[in-house]
Amino acid sequence: MTPARLLRICRRAILVWCLLSGAGFFLVRPLAAALLPAMGWMINHMQSDFRAQLLVEDFKGSPMIMMPCVTTRAIALASGGFAAPDSSFDGGGVDAVHALVPIVIFLVAVISWPVRGWHEMLGRALGSMVLLPPLVAMTTVLLFVGRVEGLLHRLTTGVAPSQRSALLQSYVFMEEGGRWLVPLVAAMLCIGIGAKLFGRGRASSPTGATPEPGLPAP
């Protein structure tokens, strides 16, 4: 790929980033509200210690996704206290705009990378619909669960230490920058699968066919 083609991709990515970021900033409340049911379902099925209810609330003029929780069983706390079943506690919150950033990164990469035709474009659209739910689960949802897991010290039986360790290790990885890396990996996977499964018609065109602008010759 030539420097001129890379430059065109960069310009396209900047434009798409500006458009999606602007849309996310002005539509953050309805977008966050649309994500809450799926995120709540993921949180409640990722662990069994508490039930979460997600809300969009204003905090110092900024929309926040808050997570009030209710314990489902008796849990020993790291502070030495004890939470009885059906006890309410604050699971924390994240900035709503911040929660949309992994989705924006994914969409910028998928939209900006050159596509060979409408078949491949359709493949990317289908791949995006499949990959976006696990992407949200691995980024914002895992941050919510990991923060609560870090506050709770489990002494109950039936929960393997290796499972607890996996949750906390994944949470630390996401906090250390993994939630920005995962969307790029998911976008690469989406682009690759779309080209492999839906770009065959273009790839099998006769030798000497003119490629799409910005793409290498087949």
* Residue 136 lies inside a defined structural domain of this protein: yes
* Residue 212 lies inside a defined structural domain of this protein: no
Instruction: Look at residue 183 and tell me whether its pLDDT is greater than 90.
Output: yes
More confident residue, 75 or 42: 42
* Residue 206 lies inside a defined structural domain of this protein: no
* Residue 213 lies inside a defined structural domain of this protein: no
* Residue 182 lies inside a defined structural domain of this protein: yes
Q: What pLDDT is stored for residue 41 in this prediction?
A: 93
* Residue 36 lies inside a defined structural domain of this protein: yes
| Segment 64-95, tens digit of pLDDT | 999 999 988 887 766 667 778 888 888 888 88
* Residue 214 lies inside a defined structural domain of this protein: no
Residues 100, 132 contacting (CB under 8 angstroms): no
| Segment 116-169, tens digit of pLDDT | 888 888 889 999 999 999 999 888 888 888 888 777 754 344 445 555 557 777
The reported pTM is: 0.78
* Residue 15 lies inside a defined structural domain of this protein: yes
| 165: containing domain | 3-201
State the amino acid at position 205 in one-letter form.
Answer: S
Share above pLDDT 70 across residues of the chain, in percent, rounded to a whole number = 81
More confident residue, 171 or 69: 69
| Segment 21-32, tens digit of pLDDT | 999 889 999 999
Count of domains forming the chain: 1
